[in-house]
Chain A
C-alpha cells in the first residue's frame, strides 16, 4: 500500500522560502497526480496545487504564484516550495496522491513561520 511521508524544516523565517519534500514508498510515483494541501492550526483545509508525474502542474490562484511543485521520479519524491512566506503560511502541510479525491495522505508536517 502506497505511503507518503513529508520532510523539511519546521521553522521558516518571514520572507524566506518554505521547502518540503514528500517521499512516496511502496509504490511508484508514475502515472499519478501528487498534491500538497495545508491546514492552519485549528482551521480548515486548503489545496495548494498538484504535479503530474510528467512534471505538469496546477496551482491554487490564492497563493498568487508563490508556490512551485516539482517531481523527482528517480527518487520517488515530489516537492513544494513556497516563497515570501508570512505568519499566515503557518500550517500543517500534507502531501497526498490525487485521483479526483485525495488518497492516501502523508501524516503532515507542521511548518511555523516566525523570526
Chain B
C-alpha cells in the first residue's frame, strides 16, 4: 500500500497570504495525484487532479505541482472560505490512499 504523508499537520496563515501544502508518497505515483478540500460537516470537494489540473469551477488561486513522490498544493491570496482541511490522494495503485490531511487555519 502506498502511504501518503502530508505536512504540516496544521498550517496557520493570515488572510491574503499564500499557503503551501505538501504531500509525499512512499513510492512513485507518477502524476496520479488529487487534492480535496473539506469543510466541517461537508463532503470533500475535488480541487486538483492529475497533480496540476484544476477541477471545474475551482478558482485560479489554487494550483498543484509535482510528480513522482513529491507534490505541492499552493493557495495564493487566502480568502476566508479557503480555511479548511486539505487531503491529497493517489490513484496510481490499488488500494487508493489518502494523506492524513492538513488543517489550514486562520492566523
Q: Are A and B bound to each other?
A: yes
A44-B87, A101-B89 known; A61 and B43 CB under 8 Å? no
B94 contacts A58, C-beta separation under 8 Å: yes
A60 contacts B95, C-beta separation under 8 Å: yes
Contact segment of B12-20, B44-52, B68-76: B44-52
Q: How far is the CA of A62 from the CA of B94 in the complex (A)?
A: 11
Chain A binding surface, main DSSP class: strand
The chain A residue with its CB closest to the CB of B92 is: A100
Contacts of B97 in A (CB 8 A): 47
B44 contacts A102, C-beta separation under 8 Å: yes
B95 contacts A103, C-beta separation under 8 Å: no
B64-106 CB mask vs A (1 if < 8 Å, else 0) is 0000000000000000000000010101001111111100000
Query: Using a Cβ–Cβ cut-off of 8 Å, how many residues does chain A contribute to the interface with B?
Result: 20
A101-B34, A101-B49 known; A47 and B43 CB under 8 Å? no
Residues of B near any A CB (own CB < 8 A): 1, 32, 34, 36, 42-46, 49-50, 55, 87, 89, 91, 94-101
Residues of A near any B CB (own CB < 8 A): 44-47, 58-62, 94, 99-108
